Amino acid sequence: MTVNKLNEAFAAAGAAAWGGLPFSELAEEMTAEAIEKAEALCPGPRTVLVAAFPYYAGESGGNLSLYARGRDYHQVITRRLNTICNFLLQKYKNCRFLPGTDNSPLPERQGAWRCGIGLRGKNGLVILPPYGSYVFLGTILTDARLDLPPRIPSPGCAGCGKCQAACPGGALGAEGVDPGRCLSALTQRKGVLTEREQALIKAHPLIWGCDTCQQVCPHNAAPALSPLPEFRTELTASLTAEDLAGLTNRDFREKYGDRAFAWRGPAPLRRNLELQG
């Protein structure tokens, strides 16, 4: 399989950039448990392919993070990666090709950076001009040995510090990202929150996710719009208490199951709306 053919396959799937690396190299970024899970999914893994898919649809009012307004990226990216898997299976008929996006043991961002996709943002995100950091990442894990294009690991961003200064939860520091203080993660957390956590959500404009570190990033001053229709049309920008009133978990999944904010069910969304009300 030539690099040109792979370029065509990824472009046809809607990827803005892609790269690949040996699984053994990516394993350096993984825990023993993650390696074990990957090897259970794909015995004898040899290669990891990583791709970036833009999702920016423009700025507009709303209380949901920009990434969650279009179709559920897990479903969209997996479907698009499957077209590449099917293409590769035509040549490597006895090999496994397993797509994943934010739901596999593979560290997607580290894989992207090792492949040279974009820049390493201080906020822990992949920055891919002209789309900025508004990209989803997907991977393909395979036991095939592929001829991969030359690569140079991604450089860091300019380090202006704007994302670190603006982070509402103080999650961005010299040591990297502290998930326990990330407001995006906090809005998705189930159960009882501390007074500090409740205050953060009360002062936050969103009930799901957080776009602050991206909005202040100079690389996101004028990002290009996504060419992918799943992330550009039929957007859900906001939810109200009335939208969620009376919905059982099953009702909620039937109504919003094709959205990325649906995986936790309605409880965190209702709680966050109450805190902000």
Residue 2: the pLDDT is: 82
Q: b/e per residue, 30-39, with b = 16+ CB within 10 A?
A: beeebbeebb
Catalytic residue among 72, 102, 211, 251: 102
Judge if 112 and 170 occupy the same domain: no
Contact 123, 179 (CB under 8 A): no
Task: Domain of residue 253: give its range.
Answer: 162-225+233-276
Could you tell me which residues come within 8 angstroms of residue 41 by beta carbon, excluding any fewer than 6 positions away?
98, 104, 105, 141
Whole-angstrom distance, CA of residue 75 vs CA of residue 50: 16
Specify the number of domains making up the chain.
2
Contact 22, 115 (CB under 8 A): no
Judge if 63 and 180 occupy the same domain: no
Judge if 123 and 250 occupy the same domain: no
Judge if 117 and 80 occupy the same domain: yes
Residue 277: the pLDDT is: 83
- pTM: predicted TM-score of the whole model, two decimal places: 0.95
Please indicate, yes or no, if residue 152 is contained in any of the structural domains. no
Residue 1: the pLDDT is: 67
Judge if 19 and 136 occupy the same domain: yes
Can you say whether residue 118 is alpha, beta or left, with left for phi > 0 and alpha for psi between -120 and 50 degrees? left
Backbone angles phi, psi at 274, to 5 degrees: -65, -40
Whole-angstrom distance, CA of residue 170 vs CA of residue 164: 7
pLDDT per residue rounded down to tens, the chain (277 residues): 688 899 999 999 999 999 999 999 999 999 999 999 999 999 999 999 999 999 999 988 999 999 999 999 999 999 999 999 999 999 999 999 999 999 899 999 999 999 999 999 999 999 999 999 999 999 999 999 998 988 999 999 999 999 999 999 999 988 889 988 999 999 999 988 999 999 999 999 999 999 999 999 999 999 999 999 999 999 999 999 999 999 999 999 999 999 999 999 999 999 999 999 8
Residues in a beta bridge with 22: 47
Q: Which amino acid is at 6?
A: L
Please indicate, yes or no, if residue 147 is contained in any of the structural domains. no
Please indicate, yes or no, if residue 247 is contained in any of the structural domains. yes
Please indicate, yes or no, if residue 50 is contained in any of the structural domains. yes
83-142 pLDDT, tens digit each: 999 999 999 999 999 999 998 999 999 999 999 999 999 999 999 999 999 999 999 999
Contact 115, 21 (CB under 8 A): yes
Please indicate, yes or no, if residue 258 is contained in any of the structural domains. yes
Whole-angstrom distance, CA of residue 119 vs CA of residue 149: 18
Residues in a beta bridge with 114: none
- Is 102 a known active-site residue? yes
Please indicate, yes or no, if residue 110 is contained in any of the structural domains. yes
Whole-angstrom distance, CA of residue 178 vs CA of residue 173: 8
